[in-house]
Amino acid sequence: MGPAARAAADARLAQSLAIWTDAWLANRRARGLTRHAVAAFWPIGSEPDLRGLYTHLASLDGVTLALPVVARQAAPLLFRRWSAGGPMASGAYGIPEPDGDAVPAPDLVLVPLLGFTDEADRIGYGGGYYDRTLADWRARGLTVTTIGVAYACGRLAPGTHAPEPHDVRLDAVATDAGWVPTAPPVPPAG
């Protein structure tokens, strides 16, 4: 995609995710929850750029936005608090990381994807960090909603990708052309 097409795709993705996360937050608030941790990612390479959405989310009452940090090689990710304009440092693989405090496992995590299947299996850069992190949270009994974020052109043809035993399937994938398989339902309030 050229720069104009990429910017338009990023805007569609951000709008779709904003609508869904607004409903998700409204539901949590209706259930009396006042703290909401959202993990996002800093865009690198060909990943979607949703920093405008992050600034919006981080400005909402009770929302903590966090970005991943590779604290140790071949280990689950750590997430640190992020705020717009806050200090960032070059971390592992040259990816900018926030200088904020560590946060516990998030309630919602946006996962960058290079490719994905119709079943919400993902292909990333191959380091296994998200798979280790998601598997660790599940092993500890934590319930975290996982949304992959990708351009629709990253959709893999059926039968071209078989997940490995360690791969962790996501709840859904948000793309610039819609949700795969569908947007995760927001449970009714009450």
What integer best gives the mean pLDDT of the chain? Answer: 89
Q: What is the pLDDT of residues 79-95, one digit of tens each?
A: 999 988 888 998 888 88
pLDDT for res 5: 94
Question: Is the predicted pLDDT of residue 75 greater than 90, yes or no?
Answer: no
CATH 3.40.50.10420 fits 3-85+106-180, yes or no: yes
pLDDT for res 174: 95
Query: For the whole model, what pTM was predicted?
Result: 0.91
Q: What is the pLDDT of residues 92-148, one digit of tens each?
A: 888 899 987 898 889 999 999 989 999 998 888 778 899 999 999 999 999 899 999
Q: Where are the domains of the chain?
A: 3-85+106-180
Confidence of residue 164 (pLDDT cuts 50, 70, 90): confident
Distance CA 7, CA 169 (A): 28
Residue 188 to residues 17, 25, 29, 61, 185, Cα–Cα distance (Å): 19, 12, 11, 21, 9
Instruction: Tell me if residue 16 falls in helix, strand or coil.
Output: helix
